[in-house]
Amino acid sequence: MRSSGGPGRWTAWAPGSTSDLERGIRPRWPCTPHSTCANGWRCRPGTGGAASDRARWRLTRWRELDAFTGTALWTERLAADQLDEPELLRLLDDTPDQLRHRAGGDPGWITALHHRYAGPVADLPLEASTDRPMAAAAVIAAPLVAHATRQVTEHARRLATATPDAPFDPDTVAAVTVPGLLSELVVQLSRAAVLELNIARLHEQQPPADPAERFHTFFARLREPAAALAFLTAYPVLARQVLGTADRWAVRTCELLDRLAADAALLRHTFTGGAPLGVLTAADETGDPHHGGRRVLLARFSSGTTVVYRPRDVAVEARYADLVTWLNERGADLRACTVVARPGYGWAEFLPADTSTGDAAAYARRRGGLLALLYALGATDFHDENLVTHGGHPVPIDLETLFTPAVTERRSAVADSVLGVGALPTGDAVAAGRPAAARGG
């Protein structure tokens, strides 16, 4: 249920008819306690009695998720929160006021959200940009971005005072790193923004505006914090997600700056031969998020040097490099990335992809040798994104899948062969005429 703004009022929100969905309309019906809505839901506060049709519909949608295909998995998930199905149904019938009373007040994230939208209009950093479709949707989260970048800037200034040779400019580092945050926010906000934009189009009282004008007017209105907060209030799960996304970005960016400041001398020694790195000019996040939204990041510096930052333990990469050195001393012809292992994270050499493999026969021998080594190390998932061709060598750039255990007692012949490594060219790659491992990393 969504509060309609008046005391004792509710709004039922359920799937509309096919025609409603085709028109992009989100059905809304004003209700009072114990009344029956136009859609047939019995809308009432949770009373401990029989669950409403609405609550049962919501529970059924969860039960039908692929994650809960078996009754045992469903029961185990409920037990993790000390619930059973009847109690969950009662919770699904609770009104916002009842939930607030049960929790002893508003959750902390709601208080934080209101606080951040209480200030004046917040402009996104002028230097920040994202090339994603619907990039304008980021304006909805402008107060959250402003708060997060302010935290990063203040932290960077403290670090720069304590560590003068830190390789970043405290006055620009937030703008340099924020595009990754904006891209995440746009992905999260786009679908709701498109829906609300279409609803606004259908509810126009005057003749339809030019599409570009309507688009501009819609997002210009959302620059006002009150309008943006009202938008997020209609989507509470989304509101909590975007708040968490901004907060986690600030935490992991401050963590990155801490590590850059602490390791500046080590990075110069390892990757520039002692020459200055300059200041951070770009921080391109890539790959999947893990552990609080942390991602692999390409740190680019004004000196032209690029270093790969991995916010996880890189001991495997370091040991692999040692193994390659040992094998090469005994006649192998392999290449590994230079790695600096630090507690819980690490830095790696950035190898730009070559457009050619060089001498075809030499490359084939090296790729065969690499395939044999990866097979011996129980590797999987070494597709083109995890290999790069550099200097005539195929070089693995992500070693997370070394020593992959068998997860089933009976594996296929393909999975148990060198094909299971994933490093052999696929039919699609051969047909497209592109060399294997032609991507950088």
**Per-residue pLDDT tens digits for 44-53:** 444 445 778 8
CA 81, CA 75: separation in Å to the nearest integer?
Answer: 10
State how far the Cα of 238 lies from the Cα of 244, in Å rounded to an integer.
10
How does 269-302 read in b/e, with b if 16+ C-beta sit within 10 Å? ebbbeeeebbbbbebebeeeeeeebbbbbbbbbe
pLDDT digits (tens, 9 = 90+) for 83-100: 888 888 888 888 888 888
pLDDT tier at 417, thresholds 50, 70, 90: confident
Distance CA 262, CA 281 (A): 18
pLDDT > 50? residue 388: yes
CA 128 vs. chain centroid, Å, equals 18
Q: Give the separation between CA 129 and CA 150, rounded to whole angstroms.
A: 17
pLDDT in tens, 59-71: 888 888 888 877 8
Mean pLDDT computed over 243-262: 97
Res 6: pLDDT: 33
pLDDT at 125: 58
Residue 26 has pLDDT above 70, yes or no: no
CB 268 within 8 Å of CB 274: yes
CB 279 within 8 A of CB 302: yes
Q: Could you tell me if residue 196 is left (phi over 0), alpha (psi between -120 and 50 degrees) or otherwise beta? A: alpha
| Higher per-residue pLDDT: 436 or 104 | 104
55: pLDDT strictly greater than 90: no
- pLDDT attached to residue 408: 60
CA atoms within 13 A on the CB side of 52: 25
DSSP state of 300: E
pLDDT tens string 314-330:
999 999 999 999 999 99
Beta pairing partners, 43:
35
Going by pLDDT thresholds of 50, 70 and 90, the confidence category of residue 426 is: low
Q: Once rounded to an integer, what is the mean pLDDT over residues 76-85?
A: 89
How many other CB atoms are found less than 10 A from the CB of residue 198? 14
Give tens-digit pLDDT for 330-345: 999 999 999 999 999 9
Tens of pLDDT, residues 151-180: 999 999 999 999 999 999 999 999 999 999
User: Is residue 262's pLDDT more than 90?
Assistant: yes
Percent of the chain at pLDDT exceeding 70: 80
* Element spanning 76, H or E: helix 71-80
Give the pLDDT of residue 105.
83
**Who's near 164: CB < 8 A, 6+ residues apart?**
none
The secondary structure of 87-104 as a DSSP string is HHHHHHH--HHHHHHHHT
At a CB cut-off of 8 Å and minimum separation 6, what does 336 contact?
A: 317, 320, 321, 324, 325, 395, 396
Is-above-0.75 flag for pTM? yes
Report which DSSP code applies to 360: H
Q: What is the pLDDT of residue 342?
A: 96
Q: Which residues pair with 209 in a beta bridge?
A: none
Which stretch, 303-307, 391-395, 404-408, 415-419, has highest mean pLDDT?
303-307
| pLDDT at residue 407 in the model | 63
| Residue 101, both tokens | 């009373």
> Where does the pLDDT of residue 205 fall: very low under 50, low under 70, confident under 90, or very high at 90 and above?
low
Q: Please give the residue that has the higher pLDDT: either 410 or 65.
A: 65
Strand ranges inside 250-397, DSSP E: 280-290, 294-301, 306-310, 339-342, 345-349, 387-390, 393-396
With 80 as the cut, is the pLDDT of residue 254 above it? yes
Using an 8 Å Cβ cutoff, are 45 and 94 in contact? yes
The DSSP element (H or E) to which 30 belongs, if any, is strand 29-31
Q: Average model confidence (pLDDT) for the chain?
A: 82
Residue 209 or residue 421, greater confidence: 421
Contact by Cβ (8 Å): 259, 128: no
Position 17 scores a pLDDT of 33
Out of 125-129, 179-183, 197-201, 269-273, pick the least confident: 125-129
CB 339 within 8 A of CB 314: yes
pLDDT for 10 beyond 80: no
pLDDT band at 139, cuts 50/70/90? very high
With 0-12 CB in 10 A as exposed, 13-18 as middle and 19+ as buried, what is 392?
A: middle
pLDDT of residue 382: 84
Q: Distance between CA 67 and CA 211 in Å, rounded?
A: 41
